[in-house]
A and B are shown apart, each in its own frame.
Chain A
Amino acid sequence: MKKNLRWLIVLLFIALFPATLGRISPYYNTVLILVGIYVILAVSLDLLIGFAGQISVGHAAFFALGAYTSGILTAKHGLSPSIALLAGLFVSGFVAWGIGRAVLRLKGYYLAMATLGLNAVVVKLITGFASVTGGASGLLNIPPFQIFGLTLQDHTHYYYFVWGIAILVILACLGLAQSPFGSALIAIHSDEEAASTLGIDCPKYKLHVFVISSMLAGVAGSLFAHFMGFIAPDDFDIFTSILVLVMLFLGGVGTIYGAALGAAFLKLLPEVTYRFQNYELFFHGIILVLVLIFMPRGLLGILTDAKNRLLGSGHLLNPPPSGKELQPS
């Protein structure tokens, strides 16, 4: 009940934003569209890192695959954006499947190495195949999104579209995380060998979560391409991957909500720090360092603690579900 109320407030805020604050300053509508896209990226990465414990440091590679597949198919081949979005989703998923099959049989951090490499390779390929991708100077003239014959040229419309998808993604990831599928991921995260002796096919589950996480990044890429109308390799380099990782750890890993919060915080932070002009990067960095030092459980952890303190539930840090030690009956 309380949880539903919280959701209702967030949804109302998101729904009313363009009509209220966004009306005063339409610029913020565009900022919030980017927030929505990064929410999809961070939440999908949380499913992989926060639940399955598989580290990917190349999430932007799948973001790029979605963006360029969608961009090339629409700008150069005149396909409908909704079909291009699906194509981007499948290309990202297919590449993830290929890499995952090769790497995820192994235990350890091979996925981190492979995704790091993939990110560099994808950026190089985009730059190299200039005739197809536009190369370093970028891919131009990507049409705005169209759905059911309606062109989402207006930013308010696109805002609702992106946030509709972002909320669907959050709900899907939450649903997966809280289902027995999510429990299997947590088992793999904790102890792969013990998980396998309980009947969990670890390589299969790791592969499936990697593929679905990458597909969602591909969707984010497609949404990004049709929003910007112009994409360049710089948008998808390793720093973008790191940015998404920071969003995830800043917000709180393994909670889904935390990832969304971290994405919103980090994308909105420059809107505050730009006032410091020359010192913008300095303040940006300081705030990040402070948050990571003093809030090891992320923004969501701090909010939970603050709520508990206000409502006097007593537990401040990492409240144990039941305080007493349990004795055998």
Chain B
Amino acid sequence: MGNEASRNSQVDGKHFLWVDKITKSFSGLTALLDVSFGIERGHIRALIGPNGAGKTTLLNVISGILSPDSGHIYYRGKDLTRLRPHQIAAEGLSRTFQLVRLFKANNAKVLDNLMIGAHLKLKPSLVKSLFLRGALHRQDRVMRETAYEKLRFVGLEPAAGDALPSNLPFGNQRLLEIARALMSEPEMLLLDEPASGLNDAEVEDFKKLLLAVKAKGMTILLVEHNMKLVMEVADEIVVLNFGRKLADGNCDEISCNRKVIEAYLGSDYMNMAGGNHSG
């Protein structure tokens, strides 16, 4: 009971999302073991770790694509653990993927991708689509405006709306995926290595975008390998290694943590981080 009480205080208190003792294994291979951490409302929480540490698995567990063997995910005090992905999305969690996953069937355009992102706003049931077309059409027009707004927000030209997603340069495809995730006005974003494959200038723009998203009051869980970006934007960092939580703390704590340096960052990074902080 004491355990329950302490957990609830963490849930109801400052944590927007609480990952509670998540364990997940794939046919004997443990991908996540007893991982717990929280994210405060409006913060950017970075999730780092070497390849195969279980970062994407954890993101899949949170978004409902995988169900954990044990443990719970609490979002605003509500247990999401057994919900299906679309129900979790409806709770206000939106995500992107490590390998950009845009919709391309039937020559779907950039704007179509954004409009699909507005699914939770439009709720186009079969009955509504057949018999309440006027109402749906009006909603659709409003969402179209929102779509162009989101395009501009992530830094894409409105003219890109008519393009095929595959005609966009790679960096812009990533931005489009984020714009699509923003269409449902989520309260929390889960981003899976959003800066991988971006060049330095694009990463710089992306950093500004992340901070702009944060400024809108959204909470972000950021899985990322680009340490410079992580150190610049994250409020707190959690480090995974071989499916276990290795460290949890703010940027200074993480960059000074011996275990993290040994397991992941390497000794070179210590000098670099030290340089940053003195300068």
Chain A residues with CB under 8 Å of chain B are 50-51, 53, 172, 175-176, 179-184, 186-187, 189-191, 193-202, 208-209, 212, 254, 320-322, 325-329
Question: How long is the Cα–Cα vector from A82 to B236 in the complex, in angstroms?
Answer: 68
* CB-based contact A199/B103 at 8 Å: no
* CB-based contact A198/B116 at 8 Å: yes
- List residues of chain B with CB within 8 A of the CB of A182: 129
* CB-based contact B156/A200 at 8 Å: no
Among B138-185, those with CB < 8 Å from A are 140, 152, 155-157, 159-160, 162-164, 167-169, 171-172, 175, 180-181, 183-184
Instruction: Closest B residue to A318 by CB, please name it.
Output: B107
Main secondary structure on B side of the interface with A: helix
Chain B residues with CB under 8 Å of chain A are 63-65, 84-86, 88-90, 94-95, 97, 101-106, 108-109, 112, 115-120, 122, 124-126, 128-130, 133, 136, 140, 152, 155-157, 159-160, 162-164, 167-169, 171-172, 175, 180-181, 183-184, 202, 205
- List residues of chain B with CB within 8 A of the CB of A198: 86, 89, 94, 116-117, 119-120, 180-181, 183-184
Q: How far is the CB of B147 from chain A (nearest CB, A)?
A: 12
* CB-based contact B159/A194 at 8 Å: no
Instruction: Closest B residue to A175 by CB, please name it.
Output: B133
* CB-based contact A193/B85 at 8 Å: yes
* CB-based contact B119/A325 at 8 Å: no
* CB-based contact A189/B105 at 8 Å: yes
* CB-based contact A193/B65 at 8 Å: yes
Question: How long is the Cα–Cα vector from A195 to B112 in the complex, in angstroms?
Answer: 13
CB-CB under 8 A for A179 and B155, given A191-B101, A320-B163, A326-B172: no
Complex A-B: 8 CB contacts under 8 Å: A179-B129, A180-B124, A183-B115, A186-B108, A187-B119, A195-B103, A254-B105, A326-B160
Greatest chain B CB density within 10 A among A176, A181, A182, A198 is at A198
Question: How long is the Cα–Cα vector from A269 to B183 in the complex, in angstroms?
Answer: 48
**Closest 3 interchain pairs by CB?**
A180-B124, A181-B129, A199-B89
Question: How long is the Cα–Cα vector from A201 to B205 in the complex, in angstroms?
Answer: 34
* CB-based contact A184/B124 at 8 Å: yes
* CB-based contact A325/B167 at 8 Å: yes
- List residues of chain B with CB within 8 A of the CB of A180: 115, 118-119, 122, 124, 129, 136, 140
- List residues of chain B with CB within 8 A of the CB of A50: 106
Selected from A53, A321, A329, the residue in CB contact (under 8 A) with B109 is A321
* CB-based contact B95/A197 at 8 Å: yes
CB-CB under 8 A for A326 and B119, given A186-B108, A189-B105: no
Q: How far is the CB of A86 from chain B (nearest CB, A)?
A: 16
Greatest chain B CB density within 10 A among A53, A186, A191 is at A186
Question: How long is the Cα–Cα vector from A208 to B162 in the complex, in angstroms?
Answer: 29
CB-CB under 8 A for A184 and B105, given A176-B130, A198-B89: no
Instruction: Closest A residue to B165 by CB, please name it.
Output: A190
Known: A198-B180, A327-B169, A328-B155. 4 other contacts (CB 8 A): A181-B128, A198-B120, A322-B159, A326-B157
* CB-based contact B162/A196 at 8 Å: no
Q: How far is the CB of A273 from chain B (nearest CB, A)?
A: 32
